[in-house]
C-alpha cells in the first residue's frame, strides 16, 4: 500500500442510483447520466458507465505521467499523443473484476524511446500504482 506523503488535491464525486443513476462532482464540472451496457443486462441507454469512466481517467492520467517523464528526460512529445483505455469486466471466483489494456500512441517518436517512456510512466502513474498487483494491466504501443 502507498501512503501519501502529502495531499495535493482531492477530487470528489458522488454517484446516485448505481449503474442506472447519475454521477456528479462536488464542483459541478462533471455531471453524467449512467446506464448499464446491454452486455451486462442493461438497456444500453444514453449514459456512460464506470468502465468507460475508469478508462478515460486512467488514459488521461497516463498521458500526464508520460509528459512528466518526457519532461524530466528533455524529450518533446507531440500535442496529439493519445492513450486508449479498454476496461473489461467479468466474473471471478468471488464477484467481479476488471482488466485494463492501454494502447499508447506517441506519434512519430522512435519505438525504442517510446517503449522506454511508457515503461517509466507506468512506474509513476497514480492509476498504475493503484492497480499494480490488483488487476491485469496490459500496456502496448499503437
CATH numbers and ranges of domains, the chain: 1-48 (2.20.25.10), 49-141 (3.30.300.20)
For residue 16, what is the enclosing H or E element? strand 13-16
3-state secondary structure 96-130: EEEEEEEEEECCCCCHHHHHHHHHHHHHHCHHHHH
* pLDDT tens for the chain, residues 1 to 142: 889 999 999 999 999 999 999 999 999 999 999 999 999 999 998 999 999 999 999 999 999 999 999 999 999 999 999 999 999 999 999 999 999 999 999 999 999 999 999 999 999 999 999 999 999 999 999 9
Task: Quote the pLDDT of residue 2.
Answer: 85
Angle at 97 between CA 35 and CA 130, to 5 degrees: 100
pLDDT of residue 135: 96
Length of the chain: 142
pTM: 0.95
Tell me the C-alpha distance between 137 and 55, whole Å.
Answer: 11
Distance CA 112, CA 125 (A): 20
Amino acid at each position: 500500500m502507498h501512503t501519501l506523503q502529502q495531499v495535493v488535491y482531492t477530487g470528489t464525486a458522488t454517484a446516485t442510483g448505481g449503474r442506472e443513476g447519475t454521477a456528479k462532482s462536488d464542483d459541478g464540472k462533471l455531471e453524467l447520466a449512467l446506464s448499464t451496457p446491454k452486455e451486462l443486462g442493461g438497456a444500453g441507454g444514453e449514459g456512460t458507465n464506470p468502465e468507460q469512466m475508469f478508462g478515460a481517467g486512467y488514459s488521461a492520467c497516463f498521458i500526464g505521467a508520460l509528459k512528466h517523464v518526457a519532461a524530466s528526460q528533455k524529450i518533446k512529445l507531440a500535442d496529439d499523443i493519445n492513450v486508449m483505455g479498454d476496461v473489461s469486466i467479468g466474473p471471478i471466483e468471488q464477484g467481479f473484476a476488471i482488466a485494463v489494456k492501454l494502447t499508447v500512441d506517441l506519434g512519430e517518436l522512435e519505438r525504442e524511446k517510446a517503449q522506454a517512456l511508457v515503461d517509466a510512466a507506468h512506474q509513476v502513474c497514480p492509476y498504475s500504482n493503484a492497480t499494480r498487483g490488483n488487476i491485469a494491466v496490459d500496456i502496448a504501443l499503437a
